[in-house]
Amino acid sequence: MVTTVHLTDRTPNVSADELLAGFRPSERFGEVSFDTYRPDPAQPSQQQAVDALRAFGASINRGSATTGGFFGKLFGGSKKKPATKAGLYLDGGFGVGKTHLLASLWHSVEGPKAFGTFVEYTNLVGALTFRKTVEALSAYKLVCIDEFELDDPGDTVLMSRLMRELAEAGVKLVATSNTLPGSLGEGRFAAADFKREIQVLAEQFDVIRVDGEDFRHRGLPAAPAPVSDTDFDTTVAQNFGDLGTIAVDNFLDLINHLSRVHPSRYREFITGLDAVAWKNVQTIDQQAVALRFVVLADRLYDKDLPIIASGVPFNRVFTQEMMEGGYQKKYFRAVSRLTALAREGSGQPE
């Protein structure tokens, strides 16, 4: 029996322990491994990334990745060069499998460990304070940061400081980033930009390039057209009729409600859902609203929740100015992920 709920009725309260417990790969990547990653034979860098991450994870489990070098000098250890550097940085475009690889590393390493997106870590600091976040994560062996972003100076400085303090405590760090489509050569989001921000950690990161095209759109049809408002209820009933719990909301009501829910709680915000349906999707023209919606899109994709929507297509949910502005990496990622979920909702293969 289908149960219909409304996200606009939800305002979850989440404790600090519950927030930290949520720093693990989502259901979408809950059982992935290096063996389930499918490298593109035409992109040798993908297999090279698998090999490098396998070795890095093995070194952490052996305990050989936390002595020597810069960190050994800080804590009086050996001055010999370590077998691996303090961290890895996966640089590549959208949909080449960096999150799959990062989650595979997390699964392969013995705990304690954390896995979350850049935004989730900044939200964690906002919820717990910086010092309590450092204290909590300093006991971990590995901290994985998915989708490291340089588009917000304040957040970048905050995360750089967090990474520096964790590294000084002996925590191994691995980050991924996205490169904009069409920017894989000159002018792409480069390792040098990342290294400038993390300053004293710069020489401790091995940069691994992961080339390829967005797997979410390889040989697949274009995103399905939105359903009409008159067919909305019928389509939801037909496509989601055998699912358990569906969140049905008016789009404008939903994005207004997001301002009353801290982004650190968005994972719990959608707990228990099997699908979502939005009526009358409209183009978002306020940056703050758009950035909150990006976080929700990421959490929906994490949980692999299919979407049915009426209104404008998802490639028009953000203004053209936003798609060309300083936060464009976030918006391109959100459009890519929402499109994949809309395919699922329409019955098309992802």
Domain residue spans in the chain? 3-14+217-346, 31-213
User: Is the C-alpha dihedral spanning 30, 24, 196, 332 positive or negative?
Assistant: positive
By C-alpha distance, which of 124, 196, 203, 129 is closest to 157? Answer: 196
Contact 159, 146 (CB under 8 A): no
Q: Give per-residue pLDDT as tens, 27-62.
A: 889 899 999 999 989 999 999 999 999 999 999 999
3-state secondary structure of 169: coil
Buried b (16+ CB within 10 A) or exposed e, 133-163: bbebbeebbbbbbbbbbbebeebbebbbbbb
**Per-residue pLDDT reduced to its tens digit, 98-119:** 999 999 999 999 989 999 988 8
- What percentage of residues in the chain have a pLDDT greater than 90? 49
Q: For the whole model, what pTM was predicted? A: 0.73
142-151, 261-270, 307-316: least confident range: 142-151
- pLDDT tens-digit map of 189-223: 445 555 565 555 556 677 888 888 755 555 444 67
- CA atoms of 95 and 334, how far apart (whole Å): 12
Which structure tokens are listed for 143? Answer: 């901290």
Tokens of 275: 């699908």
**Residue 235 CB neighbours (<10 A):** 18
Q: Which CATH number fits domain 31-213: 3.40.50.300, 3.40.190.10, 3.10.580.10, 3.40.50.1000?
A: 3.40.50.300
User: What does the pLDDT look like over 128-145, one tens digit per residue?
Assistant: 899 999 999 999 999 999
Q: Which positions ≥6 away from 180 have C-beta within 8 Å?
A: 93, 188, 189, 328, 329, 332
What CA–CA distance (Å, rounded) separates 253 from 255?
6
Q: Measuring CA to CA, how many Å separate 49 from each of 20, 113, 148? A: 28, 21, 17
- Residue 257: which pLDDT band, with cuts at 50, 70 and 90? very high
Q: Report the chain's C-alpha Rg in angstroms.
A: 21
